């Protein structure tokens, strides 16, 4: 099973604009 790390990071980046 692949963990949605990329998706999660992308989400955070889009949310908090890192």
The Cα 2–Cα 13 span in angstroms is 20
Terminal alpha carbon distance of the chain: 27
Q: Are 14 and 7 in contact (CB under 8 A)?
A: no
Confidence band, pLDDT 50/70/90 cuts, at residue 4: confident
pLDDT of residue 3: 72
pLDDT at residue 12, as a whole number:
87
The larger pLDDT score, comparing residue 18 to residue 5, is at 5
Global pTM value: 0.12
The pLDDT-based confidence of 2 (bands split at 50, 70, 90) is low
Q: What is the mean pLDDT of residues 1-18?
A: 80
Q: Long-range contacts for 8-16 (Cβ within 8 Å, ≥24 apart)? A: none
């Amino acid at each position: 099973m692949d963990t949605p790390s990329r998706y999660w990071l992308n989400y955070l980046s889009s949310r908090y604009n890192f």
